[in-house]
Structure 1
């Protein structure tokens, strides 16, 4: 599980241009943000994405509850969520929802987080573009995330590290 901030401040990515011509990128910096919360199973490529307007404890708890429901986690179906040490990763007062267990990665170690590699896939459709509003950005990003949820092999290729422990059922 990981989260990323995206917004109306354009993401710059490399682009091709004919020799001798300077590539042009639209820029209209504005500081409004949207957050992508992503969960991925590196072994199967199964994923869930949420676009949320905030990155805080309440949003984290709401997304974790929605994730729990979407994967039918409960007393008979446990799900292990690997997360970074974000200060907002605070479970509700009664703890994480039933069936959810978490493991925290060491601080400053994004290279250990499989979900961190999802951002190059979500950014692919929004890089070098200006959006008029967060709604327009959300529409394009929502379509990309919905498409990614159907690309199990692609997500597994991006997130299944050679050292990742495989499920032994």
Structure 2
């Protein structure tokens, strides 16, 4: 997920006839959040990278593997399908094009966007810090992570895998 200072306008409930005014940042500065989720146990792992290139993804995947993550679900972004990524040894499940709704991590991203977008931060570090606080709050509440990501078809498929 790209977290940057180019703000996104958010919808708000207002009385009828009241015009919404939102401040918006227009700075081309960002970080990328690489996130893994265990929808059965409700656990999260994440790392921030400055550029979403195959080398940085490779380093994060090595860390994921060391943490015990056995497989990742990817979309088909160029950095996700590079040969270097396959060499890491973490099995990947590639999603069909244009299907983010199939990836449980996207639900965590939606929750993050809902909380951190629509505000002016001034510095990327402050926005990353706000995202970190939310990620830590989610980590402390596994039942919430399970509710967001533990869809029956995913948990049934994971539980049916051989041990």
- Same fold by TM (over 0.5)? yes
What's the offset of the Cα at 1:39?
0.4
Alignment partner of 1:111 is 2:108 = no
Partner of residue 119, structure 2: 129
| Aligned residues between the structures | 158
Q: 1:41 to 1:135 in 2, by over 3 A?
A: same
Cα offsets for 1:2-42 (capped at 9, x unmatched): xx112001122211223432222111211111111110112
* Aligned mates of 2:138, 2:112 — CA distance in 1: 8
* Aligned mates of 2:79, 2:86 — CA distance in 1: 16
Cα offsets for 1:119-153 (capped at 9, x unmatched): 11111331210111111111111111222222211
User: Which one has a larger percent helix, Structure 1 or Structure 2?
Assistant: 2
Give the alignment of 1:12-161 within 5 angstroms.
12-71=9-68, 79-89=70-80, 90=82, 92=84, 95-97=87-89, 100-161=90-151
* Aligned mates of 2:85, 2:102 — CA distance in 1: 28
**Gaps in structure 2 of 5+ consecutive residues:** none
* Aligned mates of 1:43, 1:60 — CA distance in 2: 24
Identify the range of structure 1 (9-18 vs 54-63) with the bigger mean alpha-carbon deviation. Answer: 9-18
The secondary structure found in structure 2 opposite 1:132 is coil
**Gaps in structure 1 of 5+ consecutive residues:** 74-78
